[in-house]
Structures are given as structure tokens and as C-alpha cells.
Structure 1
Amino acid sequence: MSPRIRSAFVPHDLKAPIRGAATGPLAGLSCVIKDMFDIIGERTGGGNPDWLAAQKPATRNAAVVQKLLDAGATITGKTICDEFFYSIAGVNAHYGTPVNPRAPGRLPGGSSSGSASATASDACDFAIGSDTGGSVRIPSSFCGLYGIRTTHGRVDLAGAMGMAESFDAVGWFANAPGVFQKIGPVLLGGTATAAEIRKLVILDDAFAECDPEVAEVINEALAAMSAELPASSHQRIAPDGLDTWREAFRVIQSREIWALYGDFVTRVKPQFGPGVAERFAAAAQVTENMAAKARVTQERARDRIRGIAQPGTLLVMPTSPAVAPLADAPLAVHESFRLRAIRMTCIAELSGLPQVSIPVATIGGCPIGLSFIGWAGGDEALLALAVKLSRYCGIAA
């Protein structure tokens, strides 16, 4: 295995592939798993060596892992993620930063960085990640991949480490649109809401967050796809500004991650990399009263977004406000990007709606993705749309 590909995987990787059922919809396909999902006989590390050391080997597979194996997929590795999934950069101070093979020298995006890196390196047919604050969508954009954040609650998270239960969702990456779509019927549960896509709403305030060249290439991509898409209108999704929503997301996320890991952090005092340590310190200061106020904002945002994203209507925006920052840029540059990105990613998070990113363009050789946010239970429609529009996607292998 080349150093480029090896960079995607944890030091405590699988000793051998785990083969799935001989037949099934995913038979013959290989996948890798973000190191937050339990695999029988393995310890789940969540990106942090101190957490890993405190864990016992799993006695059963996470629901996602078991469904993939039952469908015939072969699991070939466990991938690096940001510590406790508390970043969007893809940097891990302990295990190293996975290579972005489609934009060398730049961030892969996180927290599902290893899964994205492995997919873009052709080390697997598809990869499983999670998305709380953009952790599949941003790496999809940075690495030129098809990626989806599913409707909140539609994929079973049993046996997976949590981050913030109000927002946690499973997602996956693929290079090939057909493979990308095949994962849906295997993992998606709950209620699907079928509807013909009849309307697009261009989110002007999301476009305004982007670098001008990003907005330009995304608009060019939409123009090229116009024959395949319904009529569009323009709207600002956040009446009081996206920063209000971003802050509500931050407060709720902080309260919920501290509820999960605060005791461990206080007792063990684990070693954290830059950025993650500061975020945990800030999370410790968030009170339940602060979170309760933020949840009122979330409820209003959810009602607003879902009121527009009715069945048959898609919200359209760039996936990321910029191409991947340089990996060796100062931490302040990474943090600035993070704030800009979450202003955009929080739309799907607060509403619990699915969002697909497709690789449509490059800027200076760096990939950039186009996103469609669907209605609740509209995941299948988004996967089908990704396949339909794939002839306009020239990045993926």
C-alpha cells in the first residue's frame, strides 16, 4: 500500500479484510469504515489514542457495518477521523492528516477525512462516514467525490460513537455514481417520501458566503445542467442571517458533545490536538439554559427550512465556500474557513434534511462540489439525481 493510501487508515487497522455475504446488492464491492463504528473484535478509537486505550474490543458490529456485510460488501479498513469528530478540517495531530489525492498539499476535509481520502485514492469502492456539522459534505467537495448526509434518523446509528445527537447522521462517499446510489437501499430505513423534483430554490445567502470564483463555477455548472433541472427561483433562506443559525448549532453541538464525553475529558485529561482542545474547553462552559435558547432558534429554523423544502423542491447551494485550504496554513486560516463553512452546512443540520454533494468543477486544480438539499425522506431522490447529473461531473475517476 502506497504512503498516500496508507495515510487514510488508523494505526490500529484491520489485520485482514472482513468479507460479507456471498450474494447481495453490494457483493464484490469494497468499503472502508470511519473509526467511530464498532466492528466485532476491534476497538473503536474516535480519532483519539487515549479514548482508544480505554475501550474494549466490540462484541457486535454497528448496525451500519452489519447491514453492509449482509449486503455482500467486503470491509477492508478503518479510517482516520478528526478527534471526537470535532473539526471540519480533517487534521489529526496523533495519526497524521490523510492525503487529499485530488488537491495535493491541501486539507482533505473532516471529520470523515480518512474515508474521503481512501475513496479518492481508489483504495475502496465506497466509504462510510458520519456528518454532524459537514463531515461528509465538506470532504466530498474537497476531494471531488459524490457524498451524502442522510435525513436525520433514517440510518441506524446503533454501535456508533455519538457527537451531537440532535444532528448526527450517517453518510457515505463514492467515485462512481452507480455505486453511490446502491448504498441507499441497504442503509436507509424509516420512511421514504417519493416525489418528482419540480422546483429548485437557489439560496442566495449561501452563495454570498462563498469566494466569488466558487459562486461563478457553481452557477456555470447549474447553467450547463439546466436541461436536466426544473425551473429555479432565488431566496434567502435565513431571514436573520446565517450567523444566527450557525451560533445555535454551535451551542447545541457543544452542550451535547460535552454531555457525552465531558466526564472522560475531566477524568482522563486526554491529549488533544490544536483546535479540538479549545473547542472542548468552550463546550464545558455551555449551560443547559444556553442550549435551551439555542433549541428555540433551531425549531424556528427547522420550520422555516422545511416549509420551503417541501416534497418536490430542492434547495441549491455550493457545498463549500472555498476550495480546500492548504494543509500547512496557520490554524487561524483553518478556523476562519470552519466558521464560513458551518454558516452553510448548518442549514441541513438544523432542519435534519438530506444533502447530496456532487463533484462538478475545479478551481486552480482543486475540486469544488455542488449541493442539493432535499425534503425529509427525499434521500432516494437525491441519489437518483446524482446519477442523472453525473455526465456533468468530470472530476471523479
Structure 2
Amino acid sequence: MKITLIAGARPNFMKIAPIIAAIRDRQQQGEDIHYRLVHTGQHYDKNMSQSFFEQLNIPEPHVNLEAGGGSQAEQTANIMVRFEKELTEHRPDLVLVVGDVTSTLACSIVAKKLMVKVAHVEAGIRSGDITMPEEINRMVTDAITDYFFTTSEIANANLRKEGKQEEQIIFVGNTMIDTLLKQRSRFTAPAIFATAALKPQGYLVMTLHRPANVDVQENLSLLISEIMNNSNGLPVIFPVHPRTAKNLESSRLSYPNLHLVEPLGYLEFNYLVENAKAVITDSGGITEETTVMGVPCMTLRDSTERPETCTLGTNELLGTDPRAIKPAMERLFRGEWKKGSIPPLWDGHAAERIIESLIEIFAVTEKYSRAI
């Protein structure tokens, strides 16, 4: 069996690493399974891309399409044109995409038009917010996918509502948590930990990158001001996403306890998160990691595609109204934040289940082909 694996943006790398490891394990057991790793180049900044390959022990991609930059339409088109050539020259039995970034959508469309089967890891999650580019990516990808590997029963239910067949839906758990649990002992303090004299539980971590929060300078300034005014004087560490940095340059925000840092590597960022008093974010993936590490998390969004982080985990959905921040922070500092629990099958073995399922699927397919 030949599988083409797609990685394009920072969230993909954490999800693809354990899948590669699971394939290699099965190869060592004598299984006839091979992969080709395609990096679309959607994230082309070293801290957003290359450092993740190095830290997570992901092998060098077989090819980098170098399709980054431009508008979403330009980026999608670049990936599709370049991946079509790649797939024509190196045709697999299956294209495996992960997550909900532009690369996921673009490569799925190309594969299906070339009559190659598609498997989607992290399928079925829905925010219900069609203004989010990621929601469009998820919906379109799942509309044409052949095999759906899911992280929760909620995702399973979403796919059933959309008419997917039960045999297509395979509940495996969360590959991003596979990576988190494998790498947790290797987390490394970033430079800011020493330079800002940070102490465990003595600081907050903030990440913002959603267009609704960062594209309008006034909104961004209001959110950050409210967070800083209710931080009880604790240091707030803010690894700044490139799109956010542009608006911050002209915002004139100045707080002595606000520390702006470059995007961090995986091991450094998660060290910060694991030791933080709380995390304030608009990222979906971070809410999963905080849930597993038991760190209080506040999400500045009106909806989430990962509701299990709220119903079971440590996350709370605050919305985008800055006025919701103060009461949430007050509860945090009173020690009233919920403890949470870990969702089912978030146990570090999701990738193994994915590869086992694909081996079984293709064994049945091959047996059927021989029969006819």
C-alpha cells in the first residue's frame, strides 16, 4: 500500500508525525506499506514550519511544493497546480490529509479528481461558523472524503447527520495528543522563561490569530487591553503570529508585563503552556493540549469545533466580547476554574489505530479485486 501524506501548515506537523512513526513501526514488522511525505509549503517561515520537522523527528519531505504566500485563493490554486503534477508522477493508493488548513482542502480536491481515494484525519469536527476559512475547508474536504478518522463521538454524529456511511467513520482518537504525550518529557524552557524570570503558575500565555480578533486593530487593542487590565499583574507571554504582528506595530499598546515573542518551536511553546496559570487563545488545537495537560483555557471565539474541550476539558468559550474576560479572570484567580477530564481515546495511540484500519481496509479491497 502506498500512501501520500500531506503536511502544509504548523497544525499539520503535530498530527502527521505520529502517523509516520506508526507506518515505520508496521514496516519493521514486515508490512507492505510505504509513504511519500509532501510538504505543500503553506507555512514557509522557519519557526512556523521547519523547526517543527526538526523537533518532532519528522523526516525530510520527499518534496516541498513551495506554494506559500498570496491570498487564500492564490495559495489554494498554487497548491492544487503543483500537487496535481506531484500526484500524476507519484500515484499512490491513498492520499491522507489532516486537519482543516488550505492544504487539506486543496490536496483533497486534486486527489479525488485524479480518482485517488482520500482519508481525512480529524474529520467531522464542525464549528457551525461558515465565516471561518477552516470551516469551509472541513466541509468541502469531508464532502469528498472516502475514510473519516475522527477524534470524538461528536464528530461521528456530525458525519452521520451529513449522510456518511457508518463503515466510513472510524473513531480513533486524536493524533495531536499522540505527539503531545510522546514529546511531553522533552518540553524545553524558551529563552523568555529566564529573561522574564517566570515561575510555574505565575504567568499567562496568550495566542491570537483569528481574523475576527486580529484583522481590525481596534478589536485587537480592546481584547489585549482587557486581558492586561485583569491579569493581576502577572506576566503575559504572547507569541505573535505573523498576521497579528502587523496590527500590533501600530497599536501603541504598552504594558510592562506584556511580553511579545517570536513564534516558538513546539517543545518550547508547550513548556510555556504546561507551566502557565492559564492560556487565553483563539486556537482550536491549543484547547485540546490544555485539556490533556489540565491547564485552564479561555477561548476568545463565539463557537468551537472542539466542544469536548468545554464539556469534558478545561476550556471555556468566552466569545469575542472583551467584557467577558474580566469575570472569567476573576474566577480563575479565585481558584474556581474547572479541573476537567481527558476525552475518550486521547491516549497516545490514535495513529496506530489509523494505520491498522488502513491496512485492514486495503486487505479487504485487494481480496475483493482478486476475486473479480
- Name which one, 1 or 2, has greater alpha-carbon Rg: 2
Report 1 or 2 for greater relative contact order, CA contacts < 8 Å, sequence distance ≥ 6.
1
User: Whose helix fraction is larger, Structure 1's or Structure 2's?
Assistant: 2
TM-score (norm 2): 0.30
TM-score (norm 1): 0.29
